[in-house]
Amino acid sequence: MRRKVVEQRARVTNAFEALRHQIGLALGAARNARLDAEDALTKLRLEKLVLSVGLDHAEDDPKLAEHRGEPAMASVLSWLHTVRSRFYADWADGPAQLRDLVASEADGPAGRPAGEWLGTLGRIDGTEPPGLWRIGEATVDGLSVGGTRGTTHSFDVAVPLLDESHLSITSAPKTRHTVDALVENLLMRVLSTFTPGAVKVHLWDVGQLTAVLPNFYALSRTSAVTVHDPTRLVDLLDELAGHIRRIHTHTMQAGYPTLRAMRKATGKRVEPWRIAVLYGNGENLAPEHLRDLKRVASGALAAGISLVLVDVPTVLGGSVETISLLDDRRAITSMTGSGVEVWLDPPLPPGQVAGAAARIAEAVITKQGGPRSFADLLPTEFGKECSARELRAPVGFYEGEPVEVVIGDATPHALIGGPSGSGKTNFLYALLGSLAARYSPDELALYLLDFKEGVSFAGLAPGKKDESWLPHARLVGVNVNTDREFGLALLRFLSDELRRRSAAAKEYEVTNIAELRAADPDGHWPRIVAVIDEFQYLFAGRDSVTAMATALLEDLARRGRSQGIHLVLASQDIAGIDAFWGKPAVFEQCTLRIAMPKARRVLAESNQAAVSAPRWHAVVNHESGISHGNQLVHVPDASAKDTFPVLQRQLWQRYATHGGPRLFDGAVAPQLDESPAFTTLEPAKDRPRALVGQSIEVMDNAHAVELASAPGRNLAVLGSSTAEALSVLEAATRSLARQYPPGAVEFVLGCAIDTCADEVRALADDLAALGHKPVVTSASDIPTVVADQAARLSEPDGGPRFVVLYGVDAVSPALERKEPGKPSGLDHLRTLLKQGPVKGTHVLGWWRGVARLKDTLGFGGTEDIGAWVALDVQGSELAAFCAGQVVHWSPRAGRALFFDRSTHASPEVTIPFHRQEASDA
Ligand SMILES: Nc1ncnc2c1ncn2[C@@H]1O[C@H](COP(=O)(O)OP(=O)(O)OP(=O)(O)O)[C@@H](O)[C@H]1O
């Protein structure tokens, strides 16, 4: 038992011993670990201290005095030396490598000393831009690059810019001139690298209006440098954003992610590089500007746009390099890191910069070429283009390059504006000539209307002096300033054509003109361009013409695009734009804007390009007038003598088989004998047509009254204007006579006005010449003739008879005379009017006033006048003869109002035919 106890104690004691041993080991390890950690901490603290003063100063810096001699210090210094030499082992030839890099990436003016290039013109155009642009030089001690202390190594410092990076410069106090010199230096290197015009610089300075980089003054007169209004940063940002959008769309469509990629692949530069320099004042931009700026910065590089920001505090998207000035010579840059000071290049000699700027400016202007002529707009071969997709033609030149106008899907309609004399008509001629020379009349049809007083398009139709015409022109309307109805007629015509094309497209199950042409290759589907000069006349009254014109124009503007019907609306700026009040649809659809110099409100409100456009230039803008779409163009003189007519003759000879255009000249009265409506009249049995005047239509047509055997088929001419009344009755009678063989019709001509006797007799002679036997009666016989005609109504042989009465009201007293128990002459006339037409006897009568006609007809007799022509009569008087509707009509010379209740909803303006007067002969 006792032995057992002893054994147990020994076992416990042993276990305790073993435990004590283990604990001792653990404590020893912990102590060692702690000592190591303390050692490491000491070294780290020392390392930090050494790094704070710099390894090179560790030997003598007072901050390290108390640690010198410590073993840990020796080991830290030794470790740091090892690290540095290992790091700089690769950098031993760093400066030399940098020098080589800058030399290869910043070749020529991009990196070479100014003396070698300042004042010479750049030669790079479509190829790659230099990758780096020199700004100065840095020097480092030999030791820092693993070499010998005290020796110096210097290398060029350059920054990327075009296509690569934005630049953000931060000034130090009193260093504005250094910043200017830095920016001027950079810009001058860029401008001297490329061919003049390949780079466009935009300058904006929050604090200065004009004197931003004054040495560039000469360039600011060209498109190479634009100085922006300090209060309108938003305009500049808008313009840049617009360029980015446009370029992005263009490059993406062509299948490239960036402009640079496209340039590389095609070997062609289609856009200039753009550099926008923004000078701030160190204060934050307004939040909306900042937001726009960031948006621009993120898309700019892909569009060849680089930003140089000076004291504009912001963090930009896209790649950005920074330069921070330390004083007026030194800076640090993100290219080299904060440990290296850069000695910026000294300012370029101001006189030489100004001289170089002047040279470049001169070259830019020379590149614009001497004044280019109209002939330069024409292709070498005529009629080679196809209009299925769009119409495209140059209208002038800018800096030597042709500037095109495109009429197509994105820009279906155009608005042209400018003050009087600014060259609108000339522009139209340049455009029409350039288009007509490229597209054959099968590809392009022109409808040309000028509301101006004058005959600007008259030369495009055959004339007395020149028999040629522009074969593309289908309609030429001149002197239509008082005939707004003609504008309406054109819009109606186009609207009908739109419907016709839509129907055809539907039939072929296609949606637009390009597809329709593909589906129907034998069809005639030219693109139609309708030019309306001074179009605001269409909207000149508060009447039905304005209302209808607005509705039609809106419809055409909206739907014309897909069917190849395009509007070109020209006007004096303000008047034209004001005309759009309440019709924004038309205005908005005119995405092609052309602003002549000093034109206001044609472009977007903030777009001031037209204000500064020089004489004989135009701002062509395919982006609804937003600044980034501006293309300044010098328009050649297309209105000079022997310019357009020469082209017209060539085209006329070439396309001789295409007929001439319809010419509508509002100042010339139409001739009945030349009217197709008259010359093509054929014998008509029961529905003879009495022509009364020319209708205002796109087709050469006449208004006619059908004198069928039906109640009310009489014609009244109303008003005191003798010449026109004679014209209407003569046209009606002669046209009727043409529709009957000799002897098959009777004409009774009753003249109640002595002064018209000769004309009535002359008409009778005309009828006789056709083989008819007209009866002419004088005023005194009219009551008898009327009674006689009324009596004959009961005869069975009521053959066609026309009773033409001149000045019925002049014989009213005689007609009203009544013998007791017998009907008066007036009663007979009323019978004739009421019952005659059904029996084939029609009255064509002239009353010199509406009230006088009413007197003749008596109560309820208005039904017997089925058609009338009103001359110098106010519209308000005519309601009774127009189913009670309000008639808008103010008499005007050479025009009449025609209404036929059997065919018209409302009266229409008609043009009485010109009568051959004795004095004309
Ligand atoms: N690009 C040009 N080069 C040379 N001369 C021009 C040019 N453009 C117009 N002109 C001349 O200027 C004059 C006025 O031009 P145009 O008739 O085209 O102006 P407009 O704007 O149509 O004027 P308005 O509205 O008064 O008719 C014409 O005599 C024309 O010859």
- The CATH number covering residue 844 comes to 3.40.50.300
Whether residue 90 is predicted with pLDDT greater than 70 in this model: the reply is no
**Distance between Cα 493 and ligand 1 center (Å):** 30
pLDDT tens sequence across 378-390: 998 999 999 999 9
Q: Is residue 132 part of a domain?
A: yes
* Ligand 1 binding pocket mutation candidate from 425, 429, 456, 641 (most atoms within 8 A of CB): 425
ipTM, 2 decimals?
0.97
Please check whether residues 337 and 481 belong to one and the same domain: no
Mean pLDDT confidence for 675-687: 85
Q: Identify the domain boundary among 338, 366, 394.
A: 366
From the number of C-beta atoms within 10 Å of its C-beta (0-12, 13-18, 19+), residue 2 rates as: exposed
- Looking at 311, 343, 366, the residue that finishes a domain is 366
| 274 Cβ inside 6 Å of ligand 1 | no
Would you state the pLDDT for residue 875?
Answer: 87
In the predicted structure, residue 524 carries a pLDDT above the cut 60: yes
Residue 779 lies in a domain: yes
Beta strand ranges found along 142-198 (DSSP E): 152-159, 166-170
- Is the torsion defined by CA of 319, 324, 330, 332 positive or negative? negative
Average pLDDT over all residues of the chain: 88
Q: Which of 749, 711, 733 is nearest to 862 (CA)?
A: 711
Cα torsion angle, 916, 735, 487, 638, sign: negative
CB atoms within 10 A of CB 373: 13
Could you tell me the distance, in angstroms and rounded to a whole number, from the CA of residue 531 to the centre of ligand 1?
A: 17
pLDDT at 56: 72
417 lines ligand 1 (CB under 6 A): no
As given in the structure block, the two tokens for residue 449 are 């209307």
The pLDDT assigned to 126 comes to: 66
Q: Which of 83-92, 242-251, 726-735, 746-755 has the lowest mean pLDDT?
A: 83-92
- Whether ligand 1 lies within 6 angstroms of the CB of 469 is answered as no
One domain for residues 14 and 78: yes
Q: Is the dihedral of CA 327, 333, 337, 343 positive or negative?
A: negative
> Ligand 1: which atom is nearest the Cα of residue 452?
27
117 and 20 in a common domain? no
The answer to whether the CB of 273 falls within 8 A of the CB of 243 is: no
Q: Which of 491-505, 539-553, 691-705 has the lowest mean pLDDT?
A: 539-553
177 pLDDT band, cuts 50/70/90, is: very high
Lowest mean pLDDT among 117-131, 559-573, 729-743: 117-131
How many residues would you count in the chain? 921
* Position 600 in a domain: no
Instruction: Summarize pLDDT for 787-799 with one digit per residue, the tens.
Output: 888 888 887 766 7
CA of 644 to the centre of ligand 1 (A): 14
How confident is the model at residue 575, as a pLDDT?
A: 64
SS3 42: helix
Give me the pLDDT at residue 140, please: 79
* 800 and 764 housed in the same domain: yes
Alpha-carbon distance of 388 to 520, in angstroms, equals 12
Q: 177 and 123 in one domain? A: yes
Q: What is the pLDDT of residue 145?
A: 64
Residue 423: CB within 6 Å of ligand 1? yes
Give, in order, the Cα–Cα distances in Å from 70 to each of 42, 82, 83, 414: 10, 19, 20, 87
Mean pLDDT across 713-724: 92
For residue 368, what pLDDT is reported? 66
Range scoring the smallest mean pLDDT among 125-129, 196-200, 490-494, 887-891: 125-129
> What's the rounded mean pLDDT across residues 171-196?
94
CB–CB of 535/571 below 8 Å?
Answer: yes
Question: What digits encode the pLDDT tens for the residues 267-307?
Answer: 888 789 999 999 999 999 999 999 999 999 999 999 999 99
Asked if residue 44 belongs to a domain, the reply is yes
The yes-or-no verdict on residue 55 having pLDDT over 80 is no
Model pLDDT for residues 431-444, shown as the tens digit of each residue:
999 999 999 999 99
Q: Is residue 618 a part of any domain in this protein?
A: no
Nearest in space to 867 (alpha carbons), one of 641, 728, 706: 706
Regarding whether 306 and 167 lie in a shared domain, the answer is yes
Closest ligand 1 atom number to CA of residue 426: 18
Cβ 442 under 6 angstroms from ligand 1: no
Please count the other Cβ atoms lying within 10 Å of the Cβ belonging to residue 21: 10
- pLDDT number for residue 890: 86
Task: Determine if ligand 1 sits within 6 Å of the CB of residue 426.
Answer: yes
Q: How many whole angstroms separate alpha carbon 836 and alpha carbon 838?
A: 6
The answer as to whether 630 is a domain residue is no
Its sign, for the CA torsion 513, 514, 517, 518, is negative
Beta strand 391-398 with 401-407 is: antiparallel
Q: Is 453 in the pocket of ligand 1 (CB under 6 A)?
A: no
Query: What residues are designated binding site for ATP?
Result: 418-425
pLDDT tier for residue 73 given thresholds of 50, 70 and 90: confident
Q: Tell which wins on pLDDT, 840 or 344.
A: 344
CA 628/CA 611 separation, integer angstroms: 16
On whether the CB atoms of residues 443 and 387 are closer than 8 A, the answer is yes
Q: Is 776 within a domain?
A: yes
- Nearest in space to 565 (alpha carbons), one of 701, 719, 447, 401: 447
Q: Read off the pLDDT of each residue in 487-515 and give the average, rounded to a whole number.
A: 93
User: Is 128 a residue whose pLDDT tops 90?
Assistant: no
Q: Does residue 522 carry a pLDDT above 50?
A: yes
The verdict on residue 609 lying in a domain is no
3-state secondary structure of 513: helix
| Ligand 1: residue whose CA is nearest its atom 9 | 423
pLDDT of residue 921: 44
Which residues are known binding-site members? Answer: 418-425
Residue nearest to atom 23 of ligand 1 (CA): 421
Q: Is any atom of ligand 1 closer than 6 Å to the C-beta of 616?
A: yes
CB of 424 closer than 6 angstroms to any ligand 1 atom = yes
Is a pLDDT exceeding 80 seen at residue 809? yes
Look at 89 and 674; give whichever has higher pLDDT: 674
Quick one: CA torsion of 700, 702, 703, 707, rounded to 10 degrees?
-140
**82 band by pLDDT with thresholds 50, 70 and 90:** confident
**Mutation test of ligand 1: which of 372, 398, 426 has the most ligand atoms closer than 8 Å to its C-beta?**
426
Q: Answer whether 346 contacts ligand 1 (Cβ < 6 A).
A: no
Is 474 found in the same domain as 439?
A: yes
Query: For residue 919, what pLDDT is reported?
Result: 47
Atom of ligand 1 nearest to the CA of 534: 25
Q: Are residues 244 and 333 in the same domain?
A: yes
* Full residue range of the structural domain in which residue 237 is found: 94-366
Asked if 804 contacts 777 with a C-beta cutoff of 8 angstroms, the reply is: no
Are 395 and 348 part of one and the same domain? no
| Ligand 1 atom with least separation from CA of 418 | 21
Residue nearest to atom 10 of ligand 1 (CA): 423
For 484-626, where are the alpha helices, taking DSSP H only? 484-507, 513-519, 544-559, 573-578, 584-589, 609-612
Residue 147 has pLDDT above 70, yes or no: no
Asked if residue 469 has pLDDT above 50, the reply is yes
Query: Is residue 100 scored above 50 in pLDDT?
Result: yes
Distance 422 CA to ligand 1 centre (A): 6
Regarding whether 348 and 247 lie in a shared domain, the answer is: yes
Residues 249 and 357 in one domain: yes
pLDDT tens per residue across span 9-52: 889 899 999 999 999 889 999 999 999 999 899 989 888 888 87
Do 119 and 264 have their domain in common? yes
Q: What is the number of alpha carbons within 13 Å of residue 197 lying toward its C-beta?
A: 15
Mean pLDDT of the 761-786 span? 89
Average pLDDT value for residue range 610-633: 90
User: What is the pLDDT averaged over residues 828-837?
Assistant: 89
388-436 pLDDT, tens digit per residue, is 999 999 999 887 778 999 999 889 999 999 998 899 999 999 999 999 9
Helix axes 2-53, 71-89, angle to 10 degrees: 60
Which of 47, 71, 89 is where one domain is finished?
89
Select from 572, 639, 641, 643 the residue to mutate for testing ligand 1; criterion: most ligand atoms less than 8 Å from CB: 639
- Report how far ligand 1's centroid is from the alpha carbon of 400 (Å): 22
Instruction: Name residue, tokens 């504009």.
Output: 312
At 80 the pLDDT is 86
Measure 426 CA to ligand 1 centroid, in angstroms: 5
- Asked whether the predicted pLDDT for residue 843 surpasses 80, the reply is yes
Q: Which atom of ligand 1 has the smallest separation from the CA of 634?
A: 1
Measured from the CA of 640, which atom of ligand 1 is nearest? 31
- Is any ligand 1 atom within 6 A of the Cβ of residue 425? yes
* Ligand 1 atom nearest to CA at 616: 1
319-344 pLDDT, tens digit per residue, is 899 999 999 999 999 988 877 899 99
587 CB-near residues (< 8 Å, 6+ apart): 415, 577, 580
Q: Containing H/E element for 654?
A: helix 644-654
Output the CA 532–ligand 1 centroid distance in Å.
17
Judged against a pLDDT cut of 70, whether residue 803 lies above it is answered with yes
Number of Cβ within 10 Å of residue 711's Cβ equals 14
Which residues, 6+ apart, have CB-to-CB distance to 881 below 8 Å?
716, 850, 862, 865, 868, 899
Q: How many domains, in total, are found in the chain? A: 4
Atom 8 in ligand 1: which residue has the minimum CA distance? 423
Tokens of 386: 């196809």
Q: Is the CB of 536 under 6 A from ligand 1?
A: no
Indicate the range of 89-103, 327-341, 347-361, 830-844 predicted with least confidence. 89-103
**Which residue has the least CA distance to atom 13 on ligand 1?**
421
For 849-877, the three-class secondary structure string (H helix, E strand, C coil) is CHHHHHHHHCCCHHHHCCEEEECCCCHHH
Nearest CA to ligand 1 atom 6: 637
* Tokens 């005609």 belong to residue: 789
**Integer CA distances (angstroms), 675 to 184, 669, 694, in order:** 73, 11, 8
pLDDT of 153 reads: 81
